[in-house]
Structure 1
Amino acid sequence: MPDKVKTRYGIAEWYGREFTFLDAPQRKIYAEHALGESAAKAPVCPFQPDQPPCSKRGGVCSMQRYKEDRNGRLGESVGEPVIMCPRRFEADGLVYKWLAQAADFPIHETEVAKEVPFMRSTETNKPAGKIDMIVAHQDGERLQWHGLEIQAVYFSGQGMESEFKALRDDLSEPPPFPSANRRPDWRSSSAKRLMPQLQIKAPTVRRWGAKLAVAVDQPFFDAIGGPSNQLSHDLNEGDIIWLVARIERAFNGALHLAQAHWEVLTLEDSNKRLQAAETISREGFEEALRSRLRPL
């Protein structure tokens, strides 16, 4: 039988550019930025409207699973890229326009606001929590709006420093195969990060007569159950508007953000999805425990 092909997650987009389009000298420049070894200004973020310098440590926008080729180098990609930086969702204003359409706001009359204070400290009276984005429509004195939370995915495993060093020092083609095992950490991204945000913000937003939308990517949404069997686009039937985007590859190989799926869920159903875990049996727990026990 042939040997099983090794796969690992590596960089899909780096400082806003498709990783496999970068040649070795450009990868070296980016690696030096990522390692903090460059005195030059960081490359701009092409996904934000004003294209400021990238502020994400390491500059990795998304990651992708790759096969290892016969020479131990980077081979073909497998599956979809996973978004690591929330700024990636800002490309072309796609999710803002999408939310406006879902809410029946006229696009040419829709406005947005970033990081609007939502909570205030009882000790300092300063903002203690914010909603990532507000998408609004003003009609005279009437103001309609919905909140938008953007959730990228965390990764677990060895940090990226070894990867950046390999890309700095290895000037061969194709790029080196990823230096360590890393994987999307759906649990930290969903139950530990996103669910508390929804539990805090959605009930108040609901009392105010608005909705809270959430932008995630397709791999994230698939990890928490995927599209509902009987999905709803009726904003009156739920509290959370799920906007599920994906990074697609065009005919020329370039990557771009696209709409994949949207639906409306209640806060309770959203929480059930985000927990995405159940307690194992006592027998299973103790079997795992025995394998880990060591002398004191």
Structure 2
Amino acid sequence: MSRYGIAEWYGRPFLDLTPEERQSLAAAALQETEPPDCPFRPITCNKKGGVCSIQPYEEEGGRIGHVSGESVITCPNRFEHGQLLIRWLAEIVGFSSEEAMIAREVPFMRSTTTGRPAGKIDLVLASLRQGLRWFGLEVQAVYFSGKGMSEEFEALRHDLHETPPFPLHNRRPDWRSSSAKRLMPQLRVKGPTLRRWHSKIAVAVDAPFFESLGGPSDPPSHDLDSGDVLWLVTSLSNGQLERHHWEVLTLEESGEKLLAAEPVTRAAFEQDLHGKLAPFGEP
């Protein structure tokens, strides 16, 4: 049996933690103590529960056995490890390390009633060397579906076994919510405006997320003039954030990736329907 569980917790590889360290982090996750500093940004961890990434495990005697799949990033701060994204984007667009500058959470929209900011770009990479040139960067971690992690934290808070307990509940990466419901609206709002402003938006996701969207194009374009969205795809390897793949797509091509889905057959739908039907009035 395979279930997703914690891969990295407050920036530390979960399987490397001692039972005492797991207990300490569980106390922070349950808000009994203050959370530690984030190792990827100069801030105190602001991710509820402190789970940076999750990965699937096999069970062995009620305990975690071996890892059975790739790690999936669940916290946007995880993408900031070593400033890899900013350095990578600067290299692609031709900004030297001496000229590259960044700004965070730059207001992009404002309310028509209050005049207050109503939307921001996560990061902006800019250069002032030849006038102002800039590129927006949106970072998208993955949500997961299934029961929350609080029961896992409770179990870890009282567990002293050398090997961590097997995850108590089923959960999985929710690619659809992360892409069509979260990232697609961001591109629809920001992409056309940046295109009119003769700039581009970069989007950072991890490799499992990008594979869920269909993976790299064949062949991928590295021509910045060929599209509107610059996709930066990372992977996690031995606790390190690494470059995995990049390509340029138009807004329309990006939308097709994010919305890629097709209806199930009527027979499959009705089979599922039969399994869910209950008399009216029952919860």
Q: TM-score, normalised to structure 2's length?
A: 0.96
1:3 is aligned to: none
Aligned to 1:264: 248
Deviation at 1:7, TM superposition (A): 1.2
Where 1:79 maps in the other structure, the secondary structure is coil
Matching of residue 63 in structure 1 with residue 58 in structure 2: no
2:280 is the counterpart of 1:280: no
Q: Distance in 2 between matches of 1:222 and 1:117?
A: 31
Secondary structure of 2:123's counterpart equals strand
Match of 1:109 among 88, 91, 99: 99
**What does 1:220-259 align with in structure 2 at a 5 Å threshold?**
220-249=209-238, 255-259=239-243
State which of 257, 279, 289 in structure 1 corresponds to 2:273: 289
Counterpart amino acid of residue 42 in structure 1: P
- In the TM superposition, what whole-angstrom CA distance separates every residue of 1:140-199 from its partner, at most 9, and x where no partner exists? 5x1111000000000000110110011011111111111111100000000000000000
In the TM superposition, what are the counterparts of 1:205-220 in structure 2 within 5 Å?
205-220=194-209
1:283 Cα deviation from its structure 2 partner: 3.6
1:42 is matched with which residue?
35
Aligned equivalent of 2:155, options 125, 146, 166: 166
* Amino acid in the other structure paired with 1:273: K
- Give the RMSD, CA atoms, in angstroms: 1.1
Cα shift at 1:277 = 1.1
What is the aligned residue count? 280
Question: Residues 169-180 of structure 1 correspond to what in structure 2 (within 5 A)?
Answer: 169-180=158-169
**Which ranges of structure 1 fall in alignment gaps of 5 or more residues?**
1-5, 250-254
Determine which of 3, 17, 26 is the counterpart of 1:8. Answer: 3
In structure 2, the residue matched to 1:75 is 65
Q: Is the counterpart of residue 190 in structure 1 residue 190 in structure 2?
A: no
Q: Are residue 88 (structure 1) and residue 88 (structure 2) matched?
A: no
Q: Cα deviations across residues 230-285 of structure 1 (Å, max 9, x unaligned)?
A: 21000100110000000012xxxxx1100000000111111111112112233433
d(CA) in 2 for partners of 1:205 and 1:34? 39
Distance 1:178 1:239 in 2: 41
TM-score by length of 1: 0.92
The one-letter code sitting in structure 2 at the alignment partner of 1:229 is D
The question of 1:54 aligning with 2:48 is answered no
Residue 125 of structure 2 corresponds to: 135
Give 2:110's aligned amino acid.
R
